[in-house]
Amino acid sequence: MPAFRVAPETPTIKKVFKKILIANRGEIALRVICACKELGIRPVAIYSEADRNSLHVRFADEAICIGPPQLAQSYLNIPAVISAAEIANVDAIHPGYGLLAENANFAEVTETCSIKFIGPPSDIIRLMGEKERARAAVKKAGVPILPGSEGILAGEGEAVEWARQVGFPVIVKATAGGGGRGMRIARDEAELPGLFKAAQSEAASAFGNGDLYMEKFIERPRHIEFQVIADQYRNVASLGERECSIQRRHQKLLEESPSTQVTPELRAQIGDMLSKTLSEIGYVNAGTVEFLMDEDRKLYFIEMNTRIQVEHPVTEMVTDVDLVKSQILLAAGERLENVLQGPIVHRGHAIECRINAEHPEKFTPSAGKITAFNPPGGTGVRIDTAAYAEGVIPPYYDSLIAKLIVRGKDRPEAVSRMSRALEMFIVEGIHTTIPLHRGILADPDFRAGNFDTTFIEKFLAKRKAAAKPAA
């Protein structure tokens, strides 16, 4: 990729939408509203009956109630969302993350109604949503993937054949899955047919598609993902990586950038490779390419997400690129060089802690009224939230209530800043993951950067042992 030139002759962006409907709620709806306001675009909110008093309704120029609290009857109700967009006469829809963000049919219906979907074309969403097809597509374009099957596994017999070739342990994954759903690890040949059948029927009932594929199983991987943005003229830029190994049951808890395991050379190499690959595929708008890193620090593609992600602020903090504004401008047809207005530079270190409304030990949702709310401030601290004192967290939706993001000149400063910010973050009336994060930030292995995707398991076991009185 060429370095991006500063283009002083084209400092302002001409092609812009007048009105955007935000098909989401909570902190990401507010985040998109911020981007709209800064671009002089009128944001239109949709909301369920449970969200009447929420901040995304308050800060939007218009707000349309689309139904009762249940997701299927409101934020996931495609006819209701499209009707609101038609009534408000918007130029585009921003789907946020989750909900309809990676629903290819929704993107297709939106475009059929002559409303711009802020994301990739629906056929690209569909391609990346079928994990086996995505894997084959990026392999063809030269991205390293793990040894594994080619195409969909025809049956247990073929699974055993591939496993012999790849070598145990192997993992079978649902092509319609992703994010950890519908996977089974087989450690030897004896258990593979049973696990295959279990995975197949689980995938069939969960996704309406029982198709499976196989990969070599990596024992203690790190989860590292690369942020990319692309215009509709096949220009693609990589904005570096996020380290996302601190997860529990496939829910990320904490993310950071850069990864302590990625050198500037590796970052540039993967970035160039992804720019070339995604240009060939015709990728457009923001996207995230997920990799597993093995003990030899080799990266292998596992899947691609075609949306803005929860953890996008850590990339924004180290690059100073506003990813949501970029999404909007790219969807409006702007060229990448006009959106970026200069080279991509990585400065300092950023960490994000996801503050969930849940019990810190049991991880069960904790809905209710927030009685006290003191978000921390100060140098290098950012909070993305739609929560406020006296506000109510409804029980129907995702438990994420705030993202606390810090930037420091280096990792030690970011860790220290996050620790003090967590100390000063007060939320009362509901349970949150704030105490859990305080514990993670104090952990010697976390502080040393010495962790992988098995970190949380060990951390929680240590905690439990320490909490028990000595026998």
Residues 121-140 that bind ligand MV4 (CB under 6 A): none
Tell me: does residue 179 bind ligand MV4 (CB under 6 A).
yes
Task: Give the one residue of 223, 307, 407, 417 binding ligand MV4; rule: CB under 6 A.
Answer: 223
Residue 376 corresponds to which tokens in the numbers above? 């921390």
Active site residue 307: yes
According to DSSP, residue 71 is labeled: G
Which residues, at least 6 apart from 457, have a Cβ–Cβ distance to it below 8 Å?
Answer: none
Tell me: does residue 256 bind ligand MV4 (CB under 6 A).
no
Task: Give the one residue of 217, 226, 373, 397 binding ligand MV4; rule: CB under 6 A.
Answer: 217
Question: In terms of residues, how long is the chain?
Answer: 471
Tell me: does residue 246 bind ligand MV4 (CB under 6 A).
no
Is the distance from CB of 430 to CB of 399 less than 8 angstroms?
A: no
Taking alpha carbons only, the member of 24, 23, 26 closest to residue 393 is 26
Tell me: does residue 83 bind ligand MV4 (CB under 6 A).
no
Tell me: does residue 302 bind ligand MV4 (CB under 6 A).
yes
Nearer to ligand MV4, 31 or 252 (CB): 252
Q: How far is the CB of 220 from ligand MV4 (least distance, A)?
A: 9
Task: Give the one residue of 303, 311, 316, 358 binding ligand MV4; rule: CB under 6 A.
Answer: 303
* CB atoms near residue 79 (< 10 Å): 9
Tell me: does residue 453 bind ligand MV4 (CB under 6 A).
yes
Tell me: does residue 247 bind ligand MV4 (CB under 6 A).
yes
Tell me: does residue 202 bind ligand MV4 (CB under 6 A).
no
Nearer to ligand MV4, 302 or 414 (CB): 302
- Beta bridge partner(s), residue 288: 227, 305
Tell me: does residue 163 bind ligand MV4 (CB under 6 A).
no
Q: How far is the CB of 40 from ligand MV4 (least distance, A)?
A: 38
Q: How far is the CB of 161 from ligand MV4 (least distance, A)?
A: 18
Nearer to ligand MV4, 92 or 172 (CB): 172
Is the distance from CB of 169 to CB of 163 less than 8 angstroms?
A: no
Tell me: does residue 251 bind ligand MV4 (CB under 6 A).
no
Tell me: does residue 146 bind ligand MV4 (CB under 6 A).
yes
Nearer to ligand MV4, 35 or 314 (CB): 314
According to DSSP, residue 279 is labeled: H
Q: How far is the CB of 180 from ligand MV4 (least distance, A)?
A: 4
* CB atoms near residue 242 (< 10 Å): 28
Helix (H) or strand (E) holding 462: helix 455-467
Tell me: does residue 144 bind ligand MV4 (CB under 6 A).
no
Tell me: does residue 171 bind ligand MV4 (CB under 6 A).
yes
Tell me: does residue 175 bind ligand MV4 (CB under 6 A).
no
Among 217-225, 270-278, 370-378, 425-433, the segment contacting ligand MV4 (CB under 6 A): 217-225
Q: What are phi and psi of 446, to 5 degrees?
A: -60, -45
Q: Where are the beta strands (DSSP E) in 249-396?
A: 251-257, 285-293, 299-305, 349-356, 368-369, 372-374, 381-385, 392-393
Nearer to ligand MV4, 32 or 183 (CB): 183
End-to-end alpha carbon distance in the chain? 62
Query: What does each C-alpha distance from 420 to 54, 109, 416 come to in angstroms?
Result: 29, 47, 6
Residue 147 corresponds to which tokens in the numbers above? 């040894």
Rounded-to-integer distance, Cα 77 and Cα 143, Å: 37
Nearer to ligand MV4, 171 or 254 (CB): 171
Is the distance from CB of 182 to CB of 194 less than 8 angstroms?
A: no
Q: How far is the CB of 224 from ligand MV4 (least distance, A)?
A: 9
Tell me: does residue 305 bind ligand MV4 (CB under 6 A).
no
In the set 222, 307, 354, 382, the catalytic residue is: 307
Is 247 strand, coil or helix?
strand
Task: Give the one residue of 43, 67, 221, 429 binding ligand MV4; rule: CB under 6 A.
Answer: 221
Nearer to ligand MV4, 116 or 437 (CB): 437
Q: Residue 139: what residue type?
A: K
Tell me: does residue 212 bind ligand MV4 (CB under 6 A).
no
Rounded-to-integer distance, Cα 323 and Cα 309, Å: 10
Rounded-to-integer distance, Cα 231 and Cα 351, Å: 28
Rounded-to-integer distance, Cα 23 and Cα 25, Å: 7
Handedness of CA 206, 212, 217, 221 (dihedral sign): negative
Q: How far is the CB of 452 from ligand MV4 (least distance, A)?
A: 9
Residue 382 corresponds to which tokens in the numbers above? 């950012």
Task: Give the one residue of 218, 400, 405, 421 binding ligand MV4; rule: CB under 6 A.
Answer: 218
Task: List, by residue number, the catalytic residues.
Answer: 307
Site for ligand MV4, rule CB under 6 A: 146, 171, 179-180, 215-218, 221, 223, 247, 250, 290, 292, 302-303, 453
